[in-house]
Amino acid sequence: MKTLSFLRQTVLFWIALAVCQAVSADEGMWLFNDLPRDYLKTKYGFEPTDEWTRHVMLSCVRFNSGGSASFISGTGLVLTNHHVGADTLHKISDARHNYLRDGFHAKTPAEEIKAPDLELNQLVAIEDVTERVGAAVTAEMSAAEAFAARRAVMSKIEKQSLDATGLRSDVVTLYGGARYHLYRYKKYTDVRLVWAPEAAVAAFGGDADNFEYPRYCLDVCLFRVYTDGKPVKIDHFLKLSPKNVVEGELIFMPGNPGSTQRIFTVAALKFQRDRYVPFVLNLLHRQEILYQQYALDGDEQRRQVRRDMLGVQNARKAYSGILHGLQDPACLAHKQAEEAALRAKVQSDPHLKPYADAWKTIEETQARRVKLLGKTASFAAKPYDIAQTLVFMAAEDQKPNSKRLREYRESARASLEQQLFSPAPIHADLERAKLADSLGFFVEQRGGDDPLARKVLDGKSPQARAAELIAGTKLIQIAERRRLAQGGRAAVDASTDPMIELAKLMEPEARRIREIEDELDELERQAYAQITSAVYAIKGTSTYPDATFTLRLAFGQVKGYVENGRIIPPWTTVGGAFEHEKKHGAKEPWKLPRRWNARRGKLNLETPFNFVSTADIIGGNSGSPVINRDAELVGVVFDGNIQSLTGRHYYSDQLARAVSVTSNVIVEALKKIYDAERLVEELAR
C-alpha cells in the first residue's frame, strides 16, 4: 500500500473543490430514474434519452453473491469480474478440479457448469413509494413503533408487488430515509459458468498490486443465463465497441455500488474513525492469520481457503485506506465547516428549525453504537449460519408477514431458500477452524465468566467445543435442512442437533441486539431524513443518494493522472504485462500463466489491457460494464486505485480512478490464448 501522503493528496483536492452535497466534477452514483441530464448536456453535449437509459438498465444484472455484471449477447452471455465469479468457481471446484486457480473453458454448451446457488437480478422497473411508506409513520410514535410500522408497510408493498407481477420486489431506502423506491427485478437462478481465466492473470500482482496502478489484470469471467433448460433470449444486451478507448472519452458505468456514507455527519465519521473501522480491521487481521495457518496444512487446505483469504486481504487493504483517510486531520475539516454552516442556517430559519435536533440524535446514536461493538450473538461458520437461519425462520413464520424480520418476509423467501439449500460443498475442517476462532472471540469480548459465554462453551475450550459441534451436526446434509425447514417450529424445537441447540441458546441475545440495532437505525433514518430535507430546502434536490447495492449510473472520462510528479498514463498494454512480469523476476504473484508466455508471439502487444477513468465507484461496482455514448461495451470495472479508497466518504476526480479491463484485451485473449472462437463469434453477432 502507498503511504498516507497519497491519500492526503486526495483529501486536500477534495477540500479545495468542496464536494459534499453540492455535486462537482463527475461525482455521483445516480438513480436511473433521476439522471443528471442537464449536467451531462452542458459539460459533455450528451443527453441520455429514455430509450438509451432503459436499454442500459435492462442490459445490467446484479450478482447476489456481491457484484455487478451485464448481458453481452442475445443468448444470455453475462460478463463480470473473475473475483465476482470466484464464489462460484470455488464452490464448483474440488480436490481434482481447481477452477479458481486454473480457470475454465466450456468448449460446448453441454460443458457449461451450473452454479450451485447463484442468483442474478435484472432491474426492470422503479416506482416511488415514498408517500405510502411515510404515511405509515406518525410523529407520536416511538422509534421502535416507527420501525415496526415502516417494516410492515414495506413488507406489504413488496408482497403486493410480488403477487401482482411475479417479480422480486424490494423497497429501497434512499437519501437516509427521505425517499423510498420499489425496485422490481427479473430473477435468474439457472446460471452456468462458461469461461474463466487463470487466477494468475485475473489477479496478476496479487495482494501487492491490489488497489495500485498501473495494472495488468484480466479480471473477467463469463456466465450464461438459462430458462427452462435453454439459454435465455435477451433483447437488451451490450455490444462490444470495435474501437479502443481514447483519452478524454466520456464513459458510463452502470452497476450496483454497495455502500457509501457520504451523508454521514461529523459525529458519525468520528465513530467510524475511532471505533468501527479499527474494530473491523482487528477482526480482519485475526481472520487473515487464521486462514494463513489453515492453508499451511496442505494443498487441499490452501484451495479450500483461497477464496476467503482473497476476500479478507482485499477488505483489510480497503479498510486500511479508509482509516488512513479518516485519521488525516484534513479529512473532516471541510465536513466540519460545511456542517456548522448548515446547522447555523437551520437554526436561523423558522421553517427549518424543527430539524435542528437531528445532528444531536446522530451523536447520541453513535455513543450507543460504541457499546454494541463486539457484542456479537452469532458465529462465523457456515453450519452455524444455517442453524441460525432455521431457528429464526421457524419463529418468524409464526408471525404475519408484516411483522417479520426483513430477510424472512414472503417476497424474499425464494432467495433465502436458494441459499439455505445450496449444494455448495461445506468443508468440515475449515468450518471447525473458523468456528473455534469465532467462539474464542466471543469469549474474549464477554469474558470467561459471562453466563452466556459459559453456556456456549459448555465446560470446554473453544477448540474442543467447535470440534464437538461440527462433528455432531447434520446440517451439512441438504436433506436435513429441508426436513427442519418443512417441519417448521415443531421440528426445530424437537431437534437435538447440537448446532440447532446452540442457535436456540443464542436466539434471545441475537434478537435483543437486533432490536437495539433496529432502534438505532430508525433513529438515524429519521435524523438523516431531516438533514436531507434541510439540504434540499437550502441547496435544491440535484444530488444523488448514498449507495445501497442497487443499480446506479456513474460517468467520467478516460483520464490518467499525476502522482508525485510522475505522469500515470490512462491505459496499459499487453506488452506492459510481460514487462511487469520480467521486472519482478517472474515470481509469484507476478508470474503469468504458462500459456500466456507460450503464445506471446501471437498477441498484439499494443492492445490496451487496463485503463483508468474518473467515474465515481465503490465496492459492489466490481463487474460493472463500461460503455460509451452509443452504449457499446469498452470495458469492465474491477478495482480502484489507492486514492479511490476515500470514496466511501467523499469523492475527488483529481487522483482517484476506477480501474477497468478493456473489452479489446478480452477478445484478444479469448481468440489467441484460450482458443475460444465460439465465444468470440457470439460476441460479434
pLDDT (tens digit per residue) in 184-224? 999 999 999 999 999 999 999 999 999 999 999 999 999 99
Q: Is the pLDDT confidence value at 21 over 60?
A: no
Q: What is the pLDDT of residues 515-555, one digit of tens each?
A: 999 999 999 999 999 999 998 888 776 789 999 999 999 99
Q: What percent of the chain has pLDDT over 70?
A: 96
Question: In this structure, is residue 167 part of a structural domain?
Answer: no
Q: Which domain holds residue 9?
A: 4-119+189-263+545-684
Same domain, 318 and 198: no
Q: Is the pLDDT confidence value at 9 over 50?
A: no
Amino acid identity, residue 142? Answer: S
Among 327, 353, 379, identify where a domain stops.
353
How confident is the model over 462-474, as a mean pLDDT? Answer: 98
Strand partners, 566: 563
Return the pLDDT at 331: 79
Question: In this structure, is residue 437 part of a structural domain?
Answer: no
Measured CA to CA, the distance from residue 310 to residue 318 in angstroms comes to 12
CATH classification at residue 28: 2.40.10.120
Q: How many domains does the chain have?
A: 2
Question: In this structure, is residue 479 part of a structural domain?
Answer: no
Among 305, 331, 353, identify where a domain stops.
353
Return the pLDDT at 538: 87
Longest dimension (CA), the chain: 74
Q: Is the dihedral of CA 489, 494, 499, 502 positive or negative?
A: positive
Question: In this structure, is residue 596 part of a structural domain?
Answer: yes
Question: In this structure, is residue 679 part of a structural domain?
Answer: yes
**Closest by alpha carbon to 181, among 358, 32, 38?**
32
Question: In this structure, is residue 105 part of a structural domain?
Answer: yes
Q: What angle do CA 56, 168, 524 make, to 5 degrees?
A: 90
Q: Running DSSP on this structure, what letter comes out for residue 240?
A: B
Query: Can you give 306-362 as a three-state secondary structure string?
Result: HHHHHHHHHHHHHHHHHHHHHHCHHHHHHHHHHHHHHHHHHHHCCCCHHHCCHHHHH
Question: In this structure, is residue 152 part of a structural domain?
Answer: no
Q: Is the pLDDT confidence value at 258 over 70?
A: yes
Confidence bin at 597 (pLDDT 50/70/90): very high
Q: What is the pLDDT of residues 57-115, one digit of tens each?
A: 999 999 999 999 999 999 999 999 999 999 999 999 999 999 999 999 999 999 999 99
Cβ distance 378 to 506 under 8 Å?
A: yes
Task: From residue 112, give the alpha-carbon distance in Å to each of 93, 230, 365, 428.
Answer: 14, 12, 50, 28
Q: What angle do CA 340, 343, 347 make, to 5 degrees?
A: 135
Of the chain, the end-to-end C-alpha distance in Å amounts to 42
Q: Is the pTM of this model over 0.75?
A: yes
Same domain, 563 and 628: yes
Cβ distance 508 to 377 under 8 Å?
A: no
Q: What percent of the chain has pLDDT over 90?
A: 91
Same domain, 98 and 39: yes
How confident is the model over 601-627, as a mean pLDDT? Answer: 98
Q: Which cell numbers in the block locate residue 433? A: 477452524
Same domain, 226 and 328: no
The full DSSP string for 462-488 is HHHHHHHHHHH--TTSHHHHHHHHHHH
Q: Which cell numbers in the block locate residue 334? A: 471541510
Q: Is the pLDDT confidence value at 10 over 60?
A: no
Same domain, 74 and 16: yes
Return the pLDDT at 24: 52
Same domain, 271 and 328: yes
pLDDT top residue among 646 and 503? 503
Question: In this structure, is residue 238 part of a structural domain?
Answer: yes
Neighbours of 152 (CB within 10 A): 16
The full DSSP string for 383-397 is HHHHHHHHHHHHHHT
Q: What is the mean pLDDT of the chain?
A: 94
- The residues, ordered by sequence, that sit 6+ positions from 520 with a Cβ below 8 Å of its Cβ are 365, 368, 369
Same domain, 657 and 588: yes
Measured CA to CA, the distance from residue 331 to residue 59 in angstroms comes to 38
Same domain, 207 and 345: no
Amino acid identity, residue 85? Answer: G
Among 319, 353, 387, identify where a domain stops.
353
Same domain, 344 and 242: no
Map grid coordinates 422497473 to a residue. 125
Same domain, 195 and 337: no
Same domain, 232 and 101: yes
Same domain, 284 and 213: no
